[in-house]
Amino acid sequence: MTSIGDSTDRGAGGVGKGSRRFTGIFPVVPTTFTEEGELDLESQMRCVDFLIDAGSNGLSILANFSEQFSLSDDERESLTASILEHVAQRVPVIVTTTHFSSRICIERSRRAQEAGAAMIMVMPPYHGATLRVTEERCFDFFARLSDALDIPIMVQDAPVSGTPLSAAFLARMAREIEQVSYFKIETAGAASKLRELIRLGGSAVEGPWDGEEAITLFPDLEAGATGSMTGGGYPDGLRPILDDYLAGRREQARAGYERWLPLINYENRQCGPLACKILMKEGGVIRSEAPRHPFAPVHPETRKGLIETAQRLDPLVLRWGK
């Protein structure tokens, strides 16, 4: 298991619920494939090394931006074990273990904990466009998961689940379920929801976090966010924004956010999960930027615009592998 000391060295502090064990930038690690659609584990480990070298406070694996929806169960387990072994506690790692079944989610989460995960991230139980559970069943889902674990749970409040999670409900889970203490807010009006969550949950909300590739990062910091799960292309550009804000350098943080916002827009609004892999391929970090079929590649002109925007900012990703 990742030690608290390692987290503290990377920008986190304290231990225990309410004491901010984990703060900072935890980019999503993309899943790297060959052109034929096979896992490319050599590129995968180079990707991890780049993200650590670029100053990430921690990492997140098997998230939606990792194309987790295209992976088999065996591949998920292989990636979890191999990445955590390769990281070797250099930074804390959050493992996504979302599943509709509480039993399978618990099994996935226990294996991740045993392999060294510092935290797990889970969406509420859902399937397809219409299958949802009641609020009380959702509460019981997370309570059962908490009882099975010794590490924090991050609730991923994302539109993709199609499940409304009010700030009041999230705060109740924080107060009443031991390991539920981190919240990644990706819904519309994220800053307002973060403020309400913090107001209602108090110290039980150990980690109010930003998401969506940092496109709402500065407003969310103003609302009280202490961490952000971003895309993986340029943590060296994003970490100083959060570092400056948490250190009280508000105007420096704002200027940094405004400087990087055009590239954030390209990732969040134009290229999606492939933006990170395009930048990593361009900089020699990984061999292929290909997704798995039927996920469509980025339009060549959009790809060109992403690269040109990145070049003006000179992120490490474009130089790391050359």
Measured in residues, the chain has a length of: 322
Catalytic residue among 17, 184, 193, 304: 184
Q: Which residue has the tokens 């899943």?
A: 31
Output the DSSP codes for 170-194. HHHHHHHSTTEEEEEE-STTHHHHH
184 assigned to active site: yes
Burial 139-157 (b: 16+ CB within 10 A, else e): bebbbebbeebebbbbbbb
The DSSP code for 22 is S
Q: What token pair was written down for 239?
A: 């970490």
| Start-to-end C-alpha separation, the chain | 33
CA distance 120 to 118: 7
Query: 135-147 and 102-115 are packed helices; what angle lies between their axes, rounded to 10 degrees?
Result: 30
Q: What token pair was written down for 35?
A: 């052109």
The DSSP code for 33 is B
CA distance 192 to 195: 5
Check if the beta carbon of residue 105 is closer than 8 Å to that of residue 97: yes
Residues noted as catalytic: 184
